[in-house]
Structure formats: structure tokens, C-alpha cells
Amino acid sequence: MSLANHPQTLGQRVGRWTVWTSAVLVLFFLMAPILAIIPLSFSSGDFLTYPLPGLSLRWYHELLVSDKWLPALRNSMIIGVSATVISTVLGTLAALGLNRARFAMKPLIMGVLLSPMIVPVIITAVGVYFFFAPLGLTDSYTGLILAHTALAAPFVVITVSATLQHFDNTMARAAASLGAPPVLAFFKVVLPLILPGVASGALFAFATSFDEVVVVLMIAGPGQRTLPREMFSGIRENINPTITAVATVLIITSVILLSCLEALRRRSERMTTGKVT
């Protein structure tokens, strides 16, 4: 594979350099703003400018004592965890069903199941607002949890379906031939094997809800303001260093989420392809 060992023409060398330079610049463009915001959260000054006047943890202290950010985190967790649990259960069942057999209107059903991912969120938000308002579901946790579950479910369906495609069905058949009833075979054999896929789906679902702000803007009351909702007003009204502290915490959260996903992906590859290590 490695072309580096071959003698190269000038053209090839210029090509390589162009690709590397432009790719590195683009990767810098992707990472730089995210990295630039982190040091500002440790600034001792009031302004979001470099050079930093000094280092301090005052903005993190602000974050902990304010009456805004901790309740927002709590709301985000309540809504995110509930939406994740419901969407993971419903999404996993649906993926198992879709994987099991062909039935009438399967493509249409698949389309409906994945549509929350495709339809612009503002449209979902408006529809949900009209529909939930007369039912008394606006300004409530229940309404937000239901809407976020709908937005998150497609990610679970896709992730678990992908895992099931690599799933070796002889395992399930072996369990059945040894006399396990279907439900027992599922919990003892199938579920442990596809669990990494289910967990990735759950992480996707949680990230979807945890980052969602359009539906929250439309249907949440003052009691259900989530982290992204508070960030939205913070950025819009008066961006101050507390926002950079929240942002830093969220960046660390995404690093953790990403590492978990990567670990799960490796585990899933090992388990479903049946390679014993």
C-alpha cells in the first residue's frame, strides 16, 4: 500500500503536500474554535479575550452557585435519561422486529420510524406545539420527554439494526435447539451479544436529547429550561465567561461519550462476528 517507498515524481510529491496541507488546515478549522473556548473559562477577567489577565476558577464557582445552571442540568438529565430509556426499549424492539422477517409495508414503516431524523426539527417542534397545547402537555416534563423520545428513537433503530446485521443467528438457534423458550433465549443469549450495539444506540439517543433546543424553545415552560436552552439565551443576550465554563464541561462530556462509543464499537465487532479472543 505505502506509496512512500516508491520513487515519486515531482507531481506526486506536490499532490501529496497539497492534500496534507489542506487537510491539516481543515482539521485545524474543525478543532480550533472548540479548543479556543476552553482556556477562556479559566480566565480571572470578565471579558472573553486573549491574553488572559490571570487564571482562576471563578466562572466554575459561578456555575455552581447560580440558580440557573444546576437546575438546567437537572432538567436536561431528567428529560435526557427518560427519553433515552423509552427510546432504547422501543427502538431495540423495533429493530429486532425489522430484522426478523419481511412483512407488508416494511419500507413504508421503516420510513416512518426514521422520519424524525430527516424532518427539520422546527417542523417537529411546531407540530408538537399545536398537538400538545390542547392536551396540557406543553410546559411539562412529560411533553418534552415524549417529543425527545420521538427524535431519539431513529438513532436507536439504526444502531441496533446495524448490530443485528452482523449478528450470527446460529447462536439464537443453538439456544432454541437446547430447549430455551424464545424470551429466555433472547435475554440469555441474544441480548448480551447485541448489548454493545444497544448501548451505542442509547448513547446516540441521550446525545440527541441532551443537545436538543428547538423543541425545548417551543414547548418548555420556565420550569423545564434545559442546558442548551439556557445556553441559547446566554449566547443571544449576553455571552459571558460562565457560558465558556458550561461549554468546557459539555466538551468534556462529549469526549467521554465519544470514548464510550469507540469502546462499545470495538466490543461489538468482537462479539457479534463471533471471534473468540
Partner 1 sequence: MTIQGGASAPPADRVLSDGDVPLKVRLRRAERVRKMTAFGLVAPLLVFLLLTFVVPIAGMLWRSVGDNELSKVLPRTEAALVTWDGKSLPGEAAFHALADDLAQAHADDTAVIAARRLNYDVSGLHSAVMSLARHHFDPAATPSYRDAVIAVNHHWGEVDAWGAIRHARGPLTDFYLLSALDLHQDASGAIHRVPADRAIYLDVLARTFRISLTVTLFCLVLGFPVAYLLATQPPKIANGLMILVLLPFWTSLLVRTAAWVVVLQDQGIVNDLLLWLGVIDHPLRLIYNAIGVHVAMTHVLLPFMILPLYSTMKSIKPHFMRAATSLGAPPSVAFVRIYLPQCLPGIAAGCLLVFILAIGYYITPALVGGASDQMLSYFIAFFITDSVNWGLASALGAVLLGATLLLYAVYSKLVGGTDIKMG
Of 55-63, 93-101, 189-197, 266-274, the window that binds partner 1 (rule: CB under 8 A) is 93-101
Binding residue for partner 1 (CB under 8 A) from 73, 77, 78, 90? 90
Residue with cell 488572559: 52
Q: How far is CA 251 from CA 44, 56, 245, 256, in A?
A: 21, 19, 10, 9
Q: Cα dihedral sign for 238, 233, 80, 208?
A: negative
For partner 1, the closer of residues 193 and 231 by Cβ is 231
β partners of residue 43: 55
By CB under 8 A, is residue 263 in contact with partner 1?
no
Q: Round to whole Å and give the CA distance between 161 and 109.
A: 14
β partners of residue 55: 43
Binding residue for partner 1 (CB under 8 A) from 17, 22, 221, 266? 22
In the complex, the smallest distance separating the C-beta of residue 141 from partner 1, rounded to whole angstroms, is 14
**Grid cell for residue 235:** 449566547
Q: Round to whole Å and give the CA distance between 91 and 149.
A: 10
By CB under 8 A, is residue 11 in contact with partner 1?
yes
For partner 1, the closer of residues 121 and 195 by Cβ is 121
Q: How many CB atoms lie within 10 A of CB 91?
A: 28
In the complex, the smallest distance separating the C-beta of residue 276 from partner 1, rounded to whole angstroms, is 23
By CB under 8 A, is residue 247 in contact with partner 1?
yes
Amino acid letter for position 106: K
Of 57-65, 191-199, 252-260, 268-276, the window that binds partner 1 (rule: CB under 8 A) is 252-260
For partner 1, the closer of residues 193 and 201 by Cβ is 201
Q: Round to whole Å and give the CA distance between 19 and 101.
A: 46
In the complex, the smallest distance separating the C-beta of residue 182 from partner 1, rounded to whole angstroms, is 8
By CB under 8 A, is residue 170 in contact with partner 1?
no
By CB under 8 A, is residue 218 in contact with partner 1?
yes
Count Cβ atoms within 10 A of the Cβ of residue 107 and give its class: 0-12 exposed, 13-18 middle, 19 or more buried: exposed
Q: Round to whole Å and give the CA distance between 220 and 194.
A: 35
Torsions phi, psi for 273 (to 5 deg): -80, -5
Binding residue for partner 1 (CB under 8 A) from 131, 139, 166, 172? 131
Binding residue for partner 1 (CB under 8 A) from 144, 185, 194, 207? 207
Binding residue for partner 1 (CB under 8 A) from 43, 204, 206, 220? 204
By CB under 8 A, is residue 275 in contact with partner 1?
no
Binding residue for partner 1 (CB under 8 A) from 210, 220, 225, 245? 210
By CB under 8 A, is residue 176 in contact with partner 1?
no
By CB under 8 A, is residue 20 in contact with partner 1?
yes
Relative orientation angle of helices 241-272 and 227-237, to the nearest 10 degrees? 140
